[in-house]
Amino acid sequence: MQLLTYMEAVDMTAKPEAERAKFICFYHYKEDAITSFSMANISQWLEECGFSKPNTSRLKGYLTKGKDKVFFISKAHNNALEFIPAVLQGMERDYGALWMDTVTIESHDELIEEAKFCGKRPFLTRLIQQINFTYGKNCFDACAVLMRRLFEVLLVLAYQHKGIEADITKADGSHKMLEGIVKDAVQNGKLGIPARISKNFDAFREVGNNSAHSITYTAGKLDIDKIARDYRVMMEDLYNRAGLM
């Protein structure tokens, strides 16, 4: 979990200094498996969060004395602090689930502008966030396959909005394969996609096909970057044709 995400989740800026120290230690306990904490570390971590450098002697007193104490002095590590077991268990109960989030996608416009294209349909938002996340994490094969899927979804939505979904529907009611949809889309006057945009459709399809089906091929950043600008232009056009903008 990113530190900033954690700070926002626990509202660290609103907490007094001793509480901030407790929460920053819990973060490093979860992220780095650190179980004992020096005051030098705590001071440094608080400064890295953007807070003022604490008076370490006074802060140590708050953390280890009184009814609200959080730590005890470690016997195994000289002058280090360790969580009081009951305190640590309480934090695990209250905040441990932050590390088990299976919904949130941490994406930040790495490839596709989220402010422009997200928020229209939940499933489109998640696809775009996954594309951005995989691109930002150098998972270019995953990114390529997701871009192919988003392209296919936007084409189908455009056909649906135009009332011509039957043009890409097989006898059994399912949609044609993407190759068939693209073949129809580039010449379908009722859909009306300009040639300057549709000329890139095979490239969008093939970059995902290579990553999904080729045994030896692996996509690189350049493979995505080569189509990124044309892909964005395609998205804006299909968003309009699908009634999403």
pLDDT for the residue numbered 71:
96
User: DSSP secondary structure string, 119-188?
Assistant: TS-HHHHHHHHHHHHHHHTT-HHHHHHHHHHHHHHHHHHHHHHHT-GGGGB-TTSPBPPHHHHHHHHTT-
Q: Is the pLDDT assigned to residue 55 strictly greater than 90?
A: yes
Beta carbons of 133 and 107 less than 8 angstroms apart: yes
Boundary (domain end) residue, out of 100, 133, 162: 100
Q: Are 24 and 39 in contact (CB under 8 A)?
A: no
- CATH number assigned to the domain comprising residue 39: 1.10.10
User: Token pair 């970057």 is at which residue?
Assistant: 225
The radius of gyration computed from the CA coordinates of the chain, to the nearest angstrom, equals 26
Angle in degrees, 0-180, between the axes of helices 17-32 and 56-64, rounded to the nearest 10: 80
From residue 75, give the alpha-carbon distance in Å to each of 4, 82, 226. 32, 9, 58
Residue 158: left if φ>0, alpha if ψ -120 to 50, beta else—which one? alpha
User: In this structure, is residue 109 part of a structural domain?
Assistant: no
Q: Residue 229 sits in a domain of what CATH number? A: 1.20.120.330
C-alpha dihedral, 186 to 190 to 191 to 193, nearest 10° = 60
Residue 174 lies in a domain: yes
Give 76's pLDDT tier (boundaries 50, 70, 90).
Answer: confident
171 and 63 within one domain: no
Is residue 137 a part of any domain in this protein? yes
Same domain, 174 and 208: yes
Residue 101 has pLDDT above 90, yes or no: no
187 and 230 in a single domain? The answer is yes
Query: What is the domain extent for residue 146?
Result: 114-241
Question: Is residue 94 located within the same domain as residue 29?
Answer: yes
Return the pLDDT at 245.
86
In a domain, 105, yes or no: no
How high is the mean pLDDT of the chain? 95
User: Where is pLDDT greater, at 48 or 103?
Assistant: 48
Judged against a pLDDT cut of 90, whether residue 103 lies above it is answered with no
Q: What pLDDT, on a 0 to 100 scale, did the predictor assign at position 77?
A: 81
Are 121 and 96 found together in one domain? no
Question: Is residue 87 in a domain?
Answer: yes
Let me know whether 118 and 222 are in one domain. Answer: yes
Phi-psi region of 179 (alpha: psi -120 to 50; beta: other; left: phi over 0): alpha
Same domain, 131 and 42: no
The mean pLDDT value for 223-243 works out to 97
Q: How many CB atoms are located within 10 Å of the residue 29 CB?
A: 18
User: Are residues 96 and 144 both part of a single domain?
Assistant: no
Q: In this structure, are 118 and 171 located in the same domain?
A: yes
Which pair of tokens denotes residue 102?
């299976």
Q: Residue 107: inside a domain, yes or no? A: no
Which residues are 169's β-sheet partners? 175
Whether residue 21 is contained in a domain is answered as: yes
Number of domains in the chain: 2
- pLDDT tier for residue 132 given thresholds of 50, 70 and 90: very high
Co-location of 118 and 237 in the same domain: yes
Q: Is the pTM of this model over 0.85?
A: no
54 lies in the same domain as 163:
no
Whether 163 has a pLDDT exceeding 90, the answer reads: yes
User: Do 184 and 227 fall into the same domain?
Assistant: yes
> Residue 219's pLDDT is what?
97
Q: What is the pLDDT averaged over residues 67-77?
A: 89
Where among 53, 71, 100 does a domain terminate?
A: 100
CA distance 161 to 199: 22
Residues 169, 177: Cα–Cα separation, whole Å: 10
Q: For residue 94, is it within any domain?
A: yes
pLDDT, tens digit, for every residue of 167-224? Answer: 999 999 999 999 999 999 999 999 999 999 999 999 999 999 999 999 999 999 999 9
Domain termination site, one of 100, 135, 151: 100
